[in-house]
């Protein structure tokens, strides 16, 4: 993944007194925060001065991760972030493949003379880094951070606090070891982290253990009152209006995963979730098997995406948007 | 776990032509079926004639497991089961610690002269087996079956079909690697099964991938319309009446896990689920932290159980049962 000369080069730079900035993407998730804190806790043991910088706030259920309390957010600490990037000898880009994914932090990094190191598992990195530790087949950036430390010969420095970040990244990006990207190495890493004394159940509890009653009830309501399966049994639709969302005090992230519930219904091969946001309706499409949703999103709802997961939007009313979808969907399933 | 002489003894018996019965407990779950089929597929490679016998039917989402199509059920194939146990040289008891857990099959086993081998992870086995391959700390009987095959020196015989059963047992008994009983060995086994070419995502999809719309909507309805958190924020109640259950064509198992959703609400330390069954109300209690539910179940609802999971019932009306619970629960939280 990195050449011997890159390894030597990195090891000569990552030493006591070195100023390191670790950056990650907008709307940071478990893998972004977990892999960033793990890398910082490792580099601090080597004597580096580390700052983790993120574009905007991350969810409450990640704030317990060791090191997360020192993360700087551009939305509230932009001066400190400017200073950190000015002073940086090395800047790491974690869990993103394009500087635009890091918002305004991305422009700061583009203008910096620091050595740039990418550690990422998204496809087609945009070539902004001097060193790329990259594998699009890897399940998580956290797994790559483990492998990075391993390749630098420092596996002995991985401790329980680092393990918490790495394990968080792995389980949040794999649906708890479920997705096809999980490989032998993923379980080998989990085995090693547990051997270090990691309380893996505690991590799961911290990430997934608690829900707000509003979120539970909003999702319950959506499934029991706003779910429709079309007569052919292959397409499921869920919609939520501004009024529904207000009734349950919906916060950002409350309806994440809801469209997958619709897709999980026996016989259903395509699901769509229509959600009002002010005067706009945002739509998520999911599919499986030989049914693809990217063209449907592009051709009819000004969006796009991947074969099995795409998004779009419309300024129609909810009932017009649903009618339009029901009409055109038959071409796709 | 087994002595060298037990191992020699077993290896001398488990040879070509040997008649083996593998039995498991009532209401067989993923670990019961997965570990039984895995053991059978292993022993068949050694030339044993294997019959898997279970007291009653198992869920549809386990029927794809290789070997599951040949499982005999006492409720419909009692004659074949009688014959198999009559002819058995060795009988395995998998995933239960007491013959009564195997229903009428348990009595047949008690009366048999065959060598009896227990492979189980429940506490305090009742001593009915000649050889006990037992570890109450182990996450699953499937993990023990892997270790059993390993100890007999036959790890090389574990193939992809066996891997499907073992992996099913592990993920269903650990909440997909979540519970505290998961140890280093669990991930080591997962690593080895994936190395064999196991499609682990396929197993997850088969087990958890599909739901019926009725089940989804019943659970959604329960959470959005039949959930109450008491004013102190510590106790959550869900109830479902005969009418509710009928409205969503509820089947056995449809409401499994529902009480845990109530317990997952932030601040809630005890949850109760009241479910009408004809003229009876069955109640499940769950708790966490220093709140225990076994005495509440015993003292007020003629039941009992463990500290954090107990059950009871009442012949009161639903509203009387809920009122009674709300009154007495304050002594316990």
**What CATH number did the domain enclosing B182 receive?**
3.90.1640.10
Residue range A234-271, pLDDT digits in tens: 999 999 999 999 999 998 778 988 998 999 999 999 99
Say whether A177 and B194 touch across the interface (CB within 8 A): no
Of B183, B190, B229, the CB nearest to A213: B229
Do A47 and A143 fall within a single domain?
yes
Q: Is the pLDDT of residue A309 over 90?
A: no
Say whether A219 and B223 touch across the interface (CB within 8 A): yes
Tokens of A260: 């997958």
Interface test mutation site (partner A, options B170, B171, B182, B187, max chain A beta carbons within 10 A): B187
The reported pLDDT for the residue numbered B60 is 87
H helix intervals, chain A: 4-13, 30-45, 74-87, 103-110, 141-151, 160-174, 184-195, 200-208, 213-225, 242-247, 258-263, 294-301, 318-328
Q: Which residues of chain B lie closer than 8 angstroms to A183, CB-CB?
A: 194
The arithmetic mean of pLDDT across residues B131-143, rounded, is 95
Do A110 and A230 fall within a single domain?
no
The arithmetic mean of pLDDT across residues B157-177, rounded, is 96
Residues of chain A whose beta carbon is less than 8 angstroms from a beta carbon of chain B are 175-180, 182-184, 187-188, 190-191, 194-195, 200-201, 204, 209-213, 216-225, 227, 229, 236, 261, 264-266
Q: Which residues of chain A lie closer than 8 angstroms to B217, CB-CB?
A: 223-224, 227
Q: Which residues of chain B lie closer than 8 angstroms to A137, CB-CB?
A: none
Q: What is the largest CA-CA distance in chain B?
A: 66
Interface test mutation site (partner B, options A173, A201, A205, max chain B beta carbons within 10 A): A201
Do A43 and A120 fall within a single domain?
yes
ipTM exceeds 0.90? no
Instruction: Report which secondary-structure segment, H or E, holds A50.
Output: strand A49-54
Do B190 and B92 fall within a single domain?
yes
Do A42 and A147 fall within a single domain?
yes
- Nearest CA to CA, how far is A19 from chain B (Å)? 36
The arithmetic mean of pLDDT across residues B143-160, rounded, is 98
Q: Which residue has the tokens 């990006």?
A: A173
Q: Which residues of chain A lie closer than 8 angstroms to B223, CB-CB?
A: 216-217, 219-220
The reported pLDDT for the residue numbered B309 is 83
Show the domain range for B117: 4-208
The reported pLDDT for the residue numbered B331 is 92
Q: Which residue has the tokens 């795409």?
A: A310
Q: Is the pLDDT of residue B117 over 80?
A: yes
The whole-angstrom distance between residue A211's C-alpha and the CA centroid of its chain comes to 20
Domain boundary residue, one of A191, A208, A225 = A208
Do A234 and A151 fall within a single domain?
no
Q: Which residues of chain A lie closer than 8 angstroms to B213, CB-CB?
A: 227, 229, 236, 265-266
Total domains in the fold of chain B: 2
Average pLDDT, chain A: 95
d(CA A98, CA B126): 61
Residue B192, classed as helix, strand or coil, is helix
Say whether B265 and A210 touch across the interface (CB within 8 A): yes
Say whether B217 and A227 touch across the interface (CB within 8 A): yes
Do A200 and A220 fall within a single domain?
no
Instruction: Answer for the pair A123, A97: CB distance below 8 angstroms, yes or no.
Output: yes
Domain boundary residue, one of A208, A242, A257 = A208
- Nearest CA to CA, how far is B229 from chain A (Å)? 9
Q: Which residue has the tokens 């959930």?
A: B227
Average pLDDT, chain B: 95
Do B292 and B193 fall within a single domain?
no
Percentage above 90 pLDDT, chain A:
88
Do B230 and B147 fall within a single domain?
no
Instruction: Answer for the pair A71, A41: CB distance below 8 angstroms, yes or no.
Output: no
Domain with residue A281: its CATH number is 3.10.310.30
Domain boundary residue, one of B157, B187, B208 = B208
Do B203 and B89 fall within a single domain?
yes
CB neighbours of A246 closer than 8 A, spacing ≥ 6?
none
Q: Which residues of chain A lie closer than 8 angstroms to B210, CB-CB?
A: 264-266
Do B181 and B294 fall within a single domain?
no
Residue range B273-329, pLDDT digits in tens: 999 999 999 999 999 889 999 999 999 999 887 788 889 999 999 999 999 999 999
Nearest CA in chain A to B219: A220
Q: Is the pLDDT of residue B38 over 80?
A: yes
Query: CA-CA distances (angstroms) from residue B5 to B2, B10, B47?
Result: 8, 9, 22
Do B184 and B239 fall within a single domain?
no
Q: Which residues of chain B lie closer than 8 angstroms to A265, CB-CB?
A: 210-213, 216
| DSSP state letter for A238 | E
Written as one string, the DSSP assignment of A160-198 is: HHHHHHHHHHHHHHHTTTTSTT--HHHHHHHHHHHHTT-
């Amino acid at each position: 993944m990195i050449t011997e000369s890159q390894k030597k080069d990195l090891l000569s730079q990552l030493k006591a007194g070195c100023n390191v900035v670790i950056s990650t993407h907008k709307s940071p998730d478990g893998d972004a925060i977990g892999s960033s804190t793990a890398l910082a806790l490792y580099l601090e043991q080597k004597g580096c001065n580390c700052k983790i910088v993120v574009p905007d706030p991350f969810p409450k259920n990640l704030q317990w991760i060791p090191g997360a309390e020192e993360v700087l957010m551009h939305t509230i600490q932009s001066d400190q972030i400017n200073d950190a990037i000015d002073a940086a000898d090395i800047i790491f880009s974690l869990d993103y493949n394009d500087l635009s994914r890091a918002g305004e932090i991305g422009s700061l990094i583009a203008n910096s003379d620091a050595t740039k190191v990418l550690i990422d598992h998204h496809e087609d990195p945009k070539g902004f880094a001097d060193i790329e530790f990259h594998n699009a087949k890897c399940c998580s950036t956290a797994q790559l951070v483990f492998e990075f430390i391993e390749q630098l010969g420092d596996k002995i420095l991985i401790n329980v606090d680092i393990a918490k970040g790495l394990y968080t990244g792995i389980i949040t990006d794999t649906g708890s070891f479920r997705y096809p990207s999980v490989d032998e190495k993923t379980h080998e890493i989990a085995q090693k982290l547990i051997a270090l004394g990691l309380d893996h159940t505690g991590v799961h509890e911290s990430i997934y253990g608690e829900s707000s009653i509003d979120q539970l009830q909003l999702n319950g309501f959506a499934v029991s009152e706003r779910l429709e399966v079309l007569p052919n049994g292959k397409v499921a639709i869920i919609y939520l209006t501004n009024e529904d969302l207000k009734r349950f005090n919906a916060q950002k992230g409350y309806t994440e995963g809801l469209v997958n519930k619709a897709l999980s219904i026996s016989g259903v091969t395509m699901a769509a979730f229509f959600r009002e946001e002010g005067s706009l309706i945002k739509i998520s499409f999911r599919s499986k098997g030989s049914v693809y949703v990217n063209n449907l999103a592009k051709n009819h709802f000004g969006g796009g995406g991947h074969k099995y997961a795409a998004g779009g939007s419309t300024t129609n009313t909810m009932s017009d948007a649903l009618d339009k979808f029901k009409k055109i969907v038959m071409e796709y399933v």
